[in-house]
Structure 1
Amino acid sequence: MNMFSSALEGSKLRFLDLSDNALGEKGIRAFASLIKSQRDLEELYLMNDGISHDAARAVRDLLPCTAKIRVLQFHNNMTGDEGAAAIAEIVKNCPSLEDFRCSSTRIGSEGGVALAEALESCSRLKKLDLRDNMFGVEGGIALAQTLSVLAELTEIYMSYLNLEDEGTEALSEALVNSAPSLRVLELAGNDITLQSTGKLAACIASKQCLSKLNLSENELKDEGTILIAKALDEGHDQLTEVDLSTNMMRRAGARALAQAVLKKHTFKLLNINGNFISEEGVDEVNDMFKDSPEKLGLLDDNDPDGEDFDDEDEEAEEEEDSELEAKLGGLKIKQEEE
Structure 2
Amino acid sequence: MTYQLLLIASLTSIIMTAWGQAPVNIPVNIYGDGNPENGIEDSREQLMGRHDSGNGFSTRSLNAGTIKCDGKIRGTAMVLDTRELGPGLAGVVLASAAHVLYDLDRKRLFKRCEFHFLALGELAGYRAKIDLKKSRFGSYDPAAAVAGLEFGQGDWAYLYLARPWKNFNPEQSIVPRDFTFLEMEAFEFAGGELRLVAFDSTAQVISISRNCRVVESRGDDLGGGAWQGQLLDDCDSAGGASGGGIVAAVGNREYLVGIRSGSHWNEEYFPASQHPLGPPDGSIWNPSTNTNFGRAIDAYLLRELNDFVQQLISDEPRLES
TM-score by length of 2: 0.20
Which one has a larger percent helix, Structure 1 or Structure 2? 1
Which one has a larger percent strand, Structure 1 or Structure 2? 2
Higher relative contact order (CA 8 A, sep 6+): 2
Largest Rg, 1 or 2: 1
